[in-house]
Amino acid sequence: MAESPVDPARSELMRRVRRRDTAPELAVRRALTSLGLRYRLHAKELPGSPDIVNRRRKLAIFVHGCFWHRHANCRLASTPKTRTDFWEAKFARNVERDRRSEIALEENGWAVIVVWECQTRNPEQLRERLSESISTIHASAHTT
C-alpha cells in the first residue's frame, strides 16, 4: 500500500514544535529552582543531551513530551491517523534512542530522572515528585 502524501498543514504544525524552552521544561526548571537546585541546560557532551543537568550530583533530567516519546498509557501519546507506519517507526526510534541514552548515562555514574509532559501540569505535585526523586538519589549516593 502506498503511503499517503504529506499534509502541508500537518508538516507546518510539526515544524513549529520546539526542541528546548518548552512549557513542560520551564515548569521543571521553576520547580528545581524552588527546591534550591542549581543546574545547567542541554548538556550536548552527555549521551542524549539531557535537558537539565546538575554535575555535582551527577543528575541528568529529561523532560519528555508524551506524544514524541510515547508515555505509556497516556492520552497525550496518541498516534496520527494518517501515515501510521511512518509515525510508528519514528516513535520506536525515539523510544530506543531514549533507552540507549539513559543506559549510557547510568553506566557513567549518572542518575537519570525522566519527567513526562503530563506530570508538569500540577506545579505542586511536580515539585514534590522532583524533591522525592532527588532525595532518593542523594541518599543512595551516600550509602554506596
Domain that holds residue 115: 20-143
Distance in angstroms (rounded) separating the CA atoms of residues 78 and 82 = 12
User: What's the pLDDT at 59?
Assistant: 97
Residue 15 included in any domain: no
Query: Per-block average pLDDT, block size 10, for the chain (144 residues)?
Result: 64 65 94 96 96 96 95 93 93 97 98 97 97 87 65
User: What's the pLDDT at 113?
Assistant: 97
User: What's the pLDDT at 131?
Assistant: 97
Residue 8 included in any domain: no
Residue 105 included in any domain: yes
Residue 33 included in any domain: yes
Query: CA distances (Å), 30 to each of 42, 73, 76, 82, 96, in order?
Result: 16, 26, 23, 37, 29
Query: CA distances (Å), 63 to each of 21, 51, 66, 110, in order?
Result: 10, 6, 9, 16
Residue 13 included in any domain: no
Other Cβ atoms closer than 10 A to 143: 5
Residue 14 included in any domain: no
CATH number reported for the structural domain that contains residue 46 in this entry: 3.40.960.10
Domain count, the chain: 1
Residue 60 included in any domain: yes
Residue 34 included in any domain: yes
